[in-house]
């Protein structure tokens, strides 16, 4: 039952309309992906499809729960809904700065999983500097990032990442267990000499710039230590608790607004009475089904993760993916992110309170990292993961490893044996976009004995595989195994199929690969034409950067293929609620909803157009940095 009244500040109070809601419908970070049953084709609810009440069909209505069902009220300075990567960092920073914090997390303490592979992008940390990583000018990074996203991302948020991500990493390292610190790895680090030719030659391909700065951290073993420290400072984790909805109050206030006066034909700023919303807390359900009220005196933070596991939201909001699926005649009911993906409950709660979904192009971390197929072995579907070389699994003289052509700048041909794009554009992302817009089937990759030089020139975009001295020996063993096995092709993992070969002549290689007739002639003609462009230093067909033009002429020759079965569904969705520079959730007039904040994948303004990476690991780098900055700011209120 709805109750109204005036509080001492003049707010017109509206008690949270409470109502029964299952915990599964409001899963927070760490829960299993929970997508609702989907629809296909024209039945799919789009982002613009409204329900009978005027809201988006996928949004539904805010739950109603009678206040008599609330068994306990808990007050803290900061209430964080979701204890994943961003939420944990927010809570720890707030507690360290002296605030009391309540963290609501659906997962159990013993089984919580922190999504991501924990490649964490940062700039200018002491740890990176001490290990020889060159400094990065924040202004140059901001400019590069905004250019990649066509200025659709919020540069003020990008600036926070650029200025504070280094200290975030140093803070994690200073508090991590020693065994985690000992196992840290810097991707494309100086010692490995990865991408040496790329960095020595200006670190720019096709006008796009990349930097070193990604550190691989075992966060699963680090998080419990950080939580224990935060709890010793006044934070409390409420495990197996699920946020259901936000508590709101509404009022009319005078806000500064731009107005036009027809009488004197002037435009000026004026105070205008405007309805505003304030969020004071949240209703939460525990594992026993009881409802609790959590009040956040300094703020409530939505950190509940993305909506990639929710089919209805995925289909409605991921326009490009839906259009790709429909263009290929595929069933959209299967559309949800693979391996990772939350249910979007935090975004829904923010929108029920008056917020909006990020208007930027809705993008994903793509390519995905997990594949399933009823028609093909998964080893031929692993687009984007580059070569997987596991030295401890390589039998002497064999090619025992997974072979994946993506992530290396080889000559790429379609299933007619024709080149169709610049293979080096934005690492792997440009080729991937092209392939998903073409006929499904096999795509082929060819290179020669100059592979080491070519891969050293590769831009170190995320999912790319530039070569370094530390893994060159493994690659040499891998490729020599292909040569030694001849027509048998590269050894595969259990259940895989051969998709890579090597030979001492191009004709012999094509015979091993089973390419005959017109296909064989087309491949030879395409490679010959590409070699001509290499000789003249200009790719007249597709404008491949001259730095990346190395011909295919020196034996042994290598050939591989991958199968494009269907467009990728990605790993995690990257757009959330509209927020301002301070991560405050904005209402539909772009005024802050007082007391409500969003961080991590509940927030927008961080990614747009596509997930291309000037530094690997940017999604976690952004989430953890901005989460930590928000926690510090809330504690200081």
Given pLDDT bands bounded at 50, 70 and 90, which one contains residue 332? very high
| Lowest-confidence region among 115-124, 466-475, 499-508 | 466-475
What Å distances lie between residue 584 and 263, 366, 411, CA to CA?
A: 36, 28, 47
- The DSSP code for 393 is G
pLDDT score of 460: 87
Residue range 208-258, pLDDT digits in tens: 999 999 999 999 999 999 999 999 999 999 999 999 999 999 988 888 999
CA-nearest of 473, 475, 477, 471 to 397 is 477
Q: Residue with structure tokens 């391996």?
A: 339
| Lowest-confidence region among 130-144, 397-411, 438-452, 520-534 | 397-411
Residue range 268-315, pLDDT digits in tens: 999 998 888 999 999 999 999 999 999 999 999 999 999 999 999 999
Beta strand spans in 599-633 (E): none
pLDDT score of 405: 57
* Residue 95, number of CB atoms within 10 A of its CB: 26
pLDDT score of 189: 79
Higher-confidence position of 580 and 264 = 580
What Å distances lie between residue 572 and 260, 385, 507, CA to CA?
A: 44, 16, 42
| Lowest-confidence region among 42-51, 411-420, 439-448, 521-530 | 42-51
CA-nearest of 84, 557, 17, 608 to 346 is 84
SS3 category, 74: strand
The pair of structure tokens assigned to 538 is: 């200009």
Contact (Cβ atoms closer than 8 angstroms) between residue 416 and residue 410: no
Q: Is the pLDDT of residue 48 over 80?
A: no
Three-state secondary structure readout of 572-591: EECCCECECCCCEEEECCCC
Given pLDDT bands bounded at 50, 70 and 90, which one contains residue 470? low
pLDDT score of 383: 64
Given pLDDT bands bounded at 50, 70 and 90, which one contains residue 103? very high
Q: Is the pLDDT of residue 80 over 80?
A: yes
Contact (Cβ atoms closer than 8 angstroms) between residue 77 and residue 296: yes
pLDDT score of 196: 86
Contact (Cβ atoms closer than 8 angstroms) between residue 578 and residue 606: no
Given pLDDT bands bounded at 50, 70 and 90, which one contains residue 49? low
CB neighbour class for 566 (10 Å; exposed up to 12, middle 13-18, buried from 19): middle
Q: List Cβ neighbours of 506 (8 Å cut-off, separation of 6 or more).
A: 524, 527, 552, 557
**Sign of the torsion angle spanned by Cα atoms 455, 459, 464, 470:** positive
Mean pLDDT of 193-204: 89
CA-nearest of 324, 526, 487, 490 to 404 is 490
* Buried-state track 422-437, b at ≥16 Cβ within 10 A, e below 16: bbbbbbbbbbbbbbbe
pLDDT score of 12: 32
Please tell me the distance from the alpha carbon of residue 185 to that of residue 187, in angstroms, as a whole number.
6
pLDDT score of 333: 95
Q: Is the pLDDT of residue 166 over 70?
A: yes
Beta strand spans in 157-234 (E): 185-187, 204-205, 208-209, 214-216
pLDDT score of 469: 65
| Lowest-confidence region among 28-42, 122-136, 349-363 | 28-42
| Lowest-confidence region among 17-21, 171-175, 399-403, 543-547 | 17-21
Over the chain, what is the mean pLDDT? 87
- The DSSP code for 41 is G
What Å distances lie between residue 250 and 4, 77, 244, 302, 556, CA to CA?
A: 10, 21, 19, 19, 72
What Å distances lie between residue 87 and 26, 79, 81, 459, 531, CA to CA?
A: 16, 10, 7, 32, 52
| Lowest-confidence region among 273-277, 353-357, 493-497 | 493-497
CA-nearest of 304, 365, 374 to 338 is 365
| Lowest-confidence region among 147-161, 187-201, 518-532 | 187-201
The pair of structure tokens assigned to 347 is: 């975004």
CA-nearest of 489, 484, 480, 455 to 386 is 455
pLDDT score of 379: 86
Q: Is the pLDDT of residue 336 over 70?
A: yes
pLDDT score of 407: 63
Q: What is the largest CA-CA distance in the chain?
A: 88
Q: Is the pLDDT of residue 143 over 70?
A: yes
Residue range 585-636, pLDDT digits in tens: 999 999 999 999 999 999 999 999 999 899 999 999 999 999 999 999 999 9
Contact (Cβ atoms closer than 8 angstroms) between residue 400 and residue 557: no
**pTM (2 d.p.):** 0.89
Higher-confidence position of 316 and 406 = 316
């Amino acid at each position: 039952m709805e109750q109204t009244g005036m509080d001492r500040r003049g707010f017109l109070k509206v008690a949270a309309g409470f109502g029964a809601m299952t915990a599964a419908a409001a899963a927070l970070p760490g829960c299993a992906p929970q997508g609702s049953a989907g629809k296909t084709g024209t039945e799919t609810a789009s982002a613009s499809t409204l329900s009978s009440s005027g809201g988006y069909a996928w949004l539904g209505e805010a739950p109603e729960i009678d206040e008599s069902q609330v068994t306990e009220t808990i007050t803290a300075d900061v209430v964080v809904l979701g204890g994943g990567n961003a939420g944990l960092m927010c809570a720890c920073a707030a507690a360290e700065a002296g605030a009391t914090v309540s963290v609501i997390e659906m997962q159990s303490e013993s089984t919580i999983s922190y999504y991501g592979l924990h490649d964490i992008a940062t700039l200018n940390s002491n740890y990176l500097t001490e290990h020889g990583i060159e400094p990065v000018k924040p202004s140059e990074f901001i400019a590069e990032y905004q250019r990649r996203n066509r200025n659709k991302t919020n540069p003020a948020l990008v600036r926070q990442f650029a200025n504070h991500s280094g200290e975030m990493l140093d803070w994690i390292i200073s508090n991590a267990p020693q065994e985690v610190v000992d196992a840290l790895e810097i991707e494309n680090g100086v010692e490995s000499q990865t991408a040496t030719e790329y960095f020595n030659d200006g670190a720019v391909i096709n006008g796009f710039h990349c930097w070193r700065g990604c550190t691989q951290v075992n966060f699963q073993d680090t998080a419990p230590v950080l939580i224990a420290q935060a709890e010793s400072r006044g934070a409390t984790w409420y495990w197996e608790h699920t946020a259901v909805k936000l508590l709101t109050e509404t009022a009319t206030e005078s806000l500064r607004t731009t107005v036009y006066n027809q009488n004197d034909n002037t435009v000026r700023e004026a105070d205008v009475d405007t309805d505003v919303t304030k969020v004071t807390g949240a209703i939460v359900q525990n594992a026993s089904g009881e409802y609790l009220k959590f009040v956040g005196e300094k703020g409530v933070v939505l950190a509940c993760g993305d909506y990639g596991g929710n089919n209805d939201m995925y289909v409605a909001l991921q326009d490009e993916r839906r259009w790709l699926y429909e263009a290929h005649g595929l069933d959209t009911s299967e559309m949800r992110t693979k391996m990772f993906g939350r249910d979007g409950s935090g975004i829904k709660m923010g929108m029920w309170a008056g917020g909006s979904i990020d208007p930027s192009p809705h993008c994903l971390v793509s390519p995905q990292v997990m594949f399933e197929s009823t028609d093909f072995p998964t080893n031929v579907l692993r687009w984007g993961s580059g070569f997987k070389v596991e030295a401890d699994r390589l039998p002497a003289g064999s090619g025992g490893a997974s072979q994946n052509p993506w992530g290396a700048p080889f000559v790429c041909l379609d299933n007619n044996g024709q080149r169709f794009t610049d293979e080096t554009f934005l690492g792997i992302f440009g080729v991937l976009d092209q392939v998903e817009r073409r006929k499904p089937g096999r795509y082929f990759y060819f290179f020669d004995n100059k592979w080491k030089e070519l891969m050293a020139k590769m831009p170190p975009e995320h999912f790319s595989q530039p070569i370094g001295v530390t893994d060159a020996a493994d690659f040499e063993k891998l490729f020599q195994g292909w040569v030694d096995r001849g027509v048998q092709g590269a050894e595969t993992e259990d259940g895989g199929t051969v998709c890579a070969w090597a030979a001492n002549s191009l004709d012999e290689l094509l015979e091993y690969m089973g390419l005959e007739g017109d296909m064989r002639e087309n491949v030879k003609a395409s490679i010959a034409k590409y070699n001509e462009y290499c000789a003249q230093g200009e790719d007249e067909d597709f404008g491949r950067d001259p730095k990346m033009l190395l011909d295919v002429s020196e034996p042994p020759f290598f050939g591989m293929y991958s199968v494009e079965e269907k467009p990728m569904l990605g790993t995690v969705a990257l757009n959330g609620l509209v927020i301002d520079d301070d991560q405050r959730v904005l209402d539909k007039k772009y005024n802050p909803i007082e007391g409500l904040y969003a961080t991590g994948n509940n927030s927008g303004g961080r990614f747009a157009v596509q997930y291309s990476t000037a530094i690997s690991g940017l999604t976690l780098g952004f989430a953890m940095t901005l989460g930590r900055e928000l926690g510090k700011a809330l504690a200081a209120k």
